[in-house]
Structure 1
Amino acid sequence: MSASNGTICSSTNRPTPLDRAAQAFGQICSRINAPTVDGRRIGHGVPRRRVNVRELVEILPLLEADGRDAVWRELVRLSREHGEPWPTIAIGIALPGLRTAAARLTRGYAGDSGDLDAELVTAFYEALRSADIGRHNVCGGLRAVAYNQVRRMRYGTVSYSARTVDLDALPESIAPVTRCGHPDMVLAKAVRAAVIDRREAELIGATRLEDLPLTTVAKKLGMAVTTAWCRRRSAETRLASWIKENDNES
């Protein structure tokens, strides 16, 4: 059954992560002072004035391919430079394609399809932060990056418990960060140096090194997926700075 904002809920009326993204996008669009983009900056057929996101959704399908790419490059720029609500807006505009990708990912999947949906949303957010947008079909490229990341996670075969590193069991004497030869050792040393905590090390190790779904790891650690995503992002920023500093000192 379709909701008034276009969200399609399951027969159990339990909203999926994609449903929640649609709801969040609908709330943004319904504001009297809905966010706007600068049509003069975008060009390529977009009206040369401030265009709110409700109107942008209507304009986008009418543009030529170059115009759609110009809009998406601006959405990515706003997401990277200003943060929310622009990532949520980008997700909302990309939802039709993301729903198609989610349907492909969940076909024949025996687990909770909501986990894959959540991973797809998270992976798209991450693609907004770091993916190359210099090529044609920017939205399709972002979606492909997210889809391929979740696809690799889906077909992982080793259980989380088998992959978890016991940080206490690692030796106290560890080589310099850039010389240790194993990422788990880097994480362990970072924990001992109080750069990141144990839970952040587990988040990074399990999701980045072992390609486990963020939803699975977040559940084990007792975190909401969005909390886990934010903590991992913050921890990775600190970790990268620490590694760089140690590299300069070595």
Structure 2
Amino acid sequence: MHHTPRPTSRRTACTRPAGCSPLQAVEESFLNLCAEPQPLTMPAHLVCEGPEQPTLPVDQVRTRLAHAATSPTLREQTWREVVRRAQQLGEPWDTVAVAMTVPVLRRMLARLACPSHLERAEVEQEALAAVATALPSVDANAADTGRELFAAADRAVHRLAYAARRRAERETGSQAARLGRLAHPAANPDGHEDAVPGAEGGEELDEYTVLAHAVRAHVVGISEAQLIARTRLEGEPMQRLAIERGVSVRQLYRHRAAAEQHLAGHLRYQQ
């Protein structure tokens, strides 16, 4: 198989610049490999039927790989060749293999329900690390080689999101329980409200405390406060709450937006 020899400087690993996301850093390294005058190429017949030229730069290969008109057979043989080169030749083909997954990873992460406190960069790094870890051991002769890499990333980011959500539940469980008790006055039979940390002495209030104050001030209802807490602070998907409450997802989004507008106006007035 033909590939254009690469200058030594192109084979060095790319360090992530400040402010550059992990996916973007991989993308920049990949596009570097496609730059003139010596773009890294692959045989065009792998991804094109009746190609007009013998080779294509790897960024054009990726574009055709993602195109709806490309047949599953061509996709499969292209992925097999990309993985084979990464396993047998190393750099820069392992960078190419990881970068080939970036368009799918972007779509995957856009759909992922993450806790609000989980940084996107951490999720991206976890996905890329999973692909890089799976790359040496995936079967380069299998029909679903590409899907194996996507599945490894999907499992990794869901584990990360689940662990972050569980950690948040442990850390904020008592605060969430306070919101739950507001919905059931019988839980406080003496009629006295719980002491609210941060309410005195000029301390900054956390998000749950702000919501609790807003409920007591009749700015939002308990149902609205729980909706904001569960989706914004705890990362629960809207679809789950919509099913639970028997309404459409669109209606629930409108409901939350209205409640957040009331809450924002109340907070501005308090300042």
Match of 1:20 among 10, 25, 28: 25
For residue 49 of structure 2, what is the aligned residue in structure 1? 45
Contact kept? 1:44, 1:70, Cα under 8 Å: no
Identity of aligned residues (%): 26
Match of 2:158 among 146, 151, 154: 151
For residue 81 of structure 2, what is the aligned residue in structure 1? 74
Match of 2:105 among 98, 109, 114: 98
**Match of 2:20, SS?**
coil
Change (3 A) 1:73 1:121: same
For residue 218 of structure 1, what is the aligned residue in structure 2? none
Structure 1 unmatched runs, 5+: 1-12, 160-250
Deviations 1:111-163 (A, max 9, x none): 2221111111111112221124555443233111121023223323798xxxx
The 1-side partners of 2:59 and 2:108 are apart by: 24
* Matched residue type, 2:110: A
Contact kept? 1:106, 1:113, Cα under 8 Å: no
Which has the greater radius of gyration? 2
Contact kept? 2:84, 2:140, Cα under 8 Å: no
Is 26-35 or 129-138 further displaced after alignment? 129-138
Contact kept? 1:65, 1:137, Cα under 8 Å: no
* Matched residue type, 2:149: L
For residue 112 of structure 1, what is the aligned residue in structure 2? 119
Deviations 1:40-59 (A, max 9, x none): 6x477273733321332343
RMSD between aligned alpha carbons?
Answer: 2.8
Match of 1:56 among 36, 39, 61: 61
Structure 2 unmatched runs, 5+: 1-17, 168-271
Contact kept? 1:131, 1:145, Cα under 8 Å: no
Match of 1:129 among 131, 136, 139: 136
TM (norm. structure 1) is 0.50
TM (norm. structure 2) is 0.47
Change (3 A) 1:78 1:46: farther
Deviations 1:194-250 (A, max 9, x none): xxxxxxxxxxxxxxxxxxxxxxxxxxxxxxxxxxxxxxxxxxxxxxxxxxxxxxxxx
Shift of 1:24: 1.2
Change (3 A) 1:46 1:72: farther
The 2-side partners of 1:49 and 1:96 are apart by: 25
Shift of 1:33: 1.0
The 1-side partners of 2:40 and 2:96 are apart by: 9
Contact kept? 1:123, 1:149, Cα under 8 Å: yes
Contact kept? 1:124, 1:145, Cα under 8 Å: yes
Change (3 A) 1:154 1:84: same
The 2-side partners of 1:125 and 1:35 are apart by: 20
**Match of 1:67, SS?**
helix
For residue 147 of structure 2, what is the aligned residue in structure 1? 140
Contact kept? 2:115, 2:161, Cα under 8 Å: no
Contact kept? 2:85, 2:93, Cα under 8 Å: yes
